[in-house]
Structure 1
């Protein structure tokens, strides 16, 4: 059966067991193109396992994973990244002892035949500066261009990581708890960044902050015990009695 062109990611009866324990059971997830889709649920619901399966950090025990209608079930993370699906905040192009500008130039080199030619003179890479500065401005880091990545405040480091992800020009961005460890100001800034970079892209994210999920997401999938409990808009899932019991209630008790 062909995948609907409206959906970028689709899983079909995706399951994962660990030594007999079923962490994910028969998950059928569809992520619509050019939307922000959130995956939520109480602790132990299988969110991280689903995310790792889709991003190919784990192989499913059974079922299929499709990207733009093509079966990517057995591919490796680098292979799906080359097809346009990139997992943000876990890529290797952020170097703590390089400046913000230098980090972006490294990330941009991935699109060039001379990728990672560190020994070339700076002048050979100056052609990347304009695009690098555009990305830096997009994530609000223009004033930090010359700062070492290691010296950035935590929330600004997340902005840099997001910029380096954008440098890869992904069609699909997968964000694993992008607000983890942030204060209110950084959460607001990062949420706005996600909204901005999601224009023309598809975003799938795992996030515990329900206020962020409510504000950003077009569609929310709720997991419980490794299975899909409910799916829909925030208004729909927040009024679902099963969701309130399994997730909302546990979050606000």
Structure 2
């Protein structure tokens, strides 16, 4: 296996807050073209790790590389332009815009024309075909003219993924994509994640272990800010350390 097989790597990644170590010397390697899950009990440092990867937090120590390029000092917007894009835990769409309008705004950003938002409708129409295609990709063709505010929760999360895909990411970071969902929505979003992973890499934080077992090629378990174990789901369910720290408690 060569270094080129890994799209995202961290070395000694550490984040301290006033003496409290939230992420402690994390070495993470995500293989290109896989779905990689980051799991662990509450307070394990998963979301802090995500914030470090996308530069919403600055590491206290350590390095981050994306496609072999050191991005430790790179700004969040520039990281997105490199192809590493994050979808947030809380749905981040414009509530009073329609599904089509939300995706068009994201497409404008991708094409560097963010101020076209305030210009005539005809300027935006050039994005319509691609926006409708993205809505169709996430199963929202019937919601193109529905405002995000009116959409069921699961559909709103699908719309968020569509707006993220509009940025044409090579790697997608999903922060608890199933949070707050019922079984039906979970099944739909899990199927959607599987579909959109066909030509990109996904790193996700997820508490739902059924989803993790069904979707993930590899799993990293964090506890108290450190990597406890790595492997596939079957390997980790047989790891006594993981049972004690996380899986055992979750199934108790």
Q: Which bin holds the TM-score, normalised by the shorter protein?
A: over 0.9
CA distance in 1, matches of 2:145, 2:193: 23
Give the 5 Å matches for 1:120-199: 120-199=119-198
Larger fraction in helix: 2
Residue of structure 2 equivalent to 1:248: 247
* Deviation, structure 1 residue 115: 2.7
Is 2:14–2:59's contact at 8 Å kept on the other side of the alignment?
yes
* Deviation, structure 1 residue 230: 0.7
1:115 lines up with 2:108 in the alignment:
no
Residue of structure 2 equivalent to 1:89: 88
Q: TM-score, normalised by structure 1?
A: 0.95
CA distance in 2, matches of 1:81, 1:60: 18
CA distance in 2, matches of 1:141, 1:211: 25
* Deviation, structure 1 residue 45: 1.4
Is 1:93–1:164's contact at 8 Å kept on the other side of the alignment?
no
Is 2:91–2:157's contact at 8 Å kept on the other side of the alignment?
no
* Deviation, structure 1 residue 125: 2.1
Is 1:93–1:106's contact at 8 Å kept on the other side of the alignment?
no
Q: Judging changes above 3 Å, is the alpha-carbon distance between structure 1 residues 230 and 113 closer, same or farther for their aligned structure 2 residues? A: closer
Corresponding residue SS for 2:118: coil
Is 1:15–1:61's contact at 8 Å kept on the other side of the alignment?
yes
Corresponding residue SS for 2:178: coil
Q: Give 5+ residue unaligned stretches, structure 1.
A: none
Greater CA deviation, 87-96 or 5-14?
Answer: 87-96
Q: TM-score, normalised by structure 2?
A: 0.95
CA distance in 2, matches of 1:93, 1:39: 21
Residue of structure 1 equivalent to 2:75: 76
Q: Judging changes above 3 Å, is the alpha-carbon distance between structure 1 residues 211 and 226 closer, same or farther for their aligned structure 2 residues? A: same
Q: Figure out how many residues of one structure are paired with residues of the other and give that number.
A: 251
Is 1:176–1:207's contact at 8 Å kept on the other side of the alignment?
yes
1:227 lines up with 2:207 in the alignment:
no
Residue of structure 1 equivalent to 2:209: 210
CA distance in 2, matches of 1:13, 1:151: 44
Give the 5 Å matches for 1:99-110: 99-110=98-109
Residue of structure 1 equivalent to 2:62: 63
CA distance in 2, matches of 1:154, 1:132: 20
Q: Judging changes above 3 Å, is the alpha-carbon distance between structure 1 residues 200 and 83 closer, same or farther for their aligned structure 2 residues? A: same
CA distance in 2, matches of 1:190, 1:147: 19
Q: Judging changes above 3 Å, is the alpha-carbon distance between structure 1 residues 235 and 60 closer, same or farther for their aligned structure 2 residues? A: same
* Deviation, structure 1 residue 121: 2.2
CA distance in 2, matches of 1:112, 1:239: 47
Moved over 4 A (4+): 90-93
Q: Judging changes above 3 Å, is the alpha-carbon distance between structure 1 residues 93 and 46 closer, same or farther for their aligned structure 2 residues? A: closer
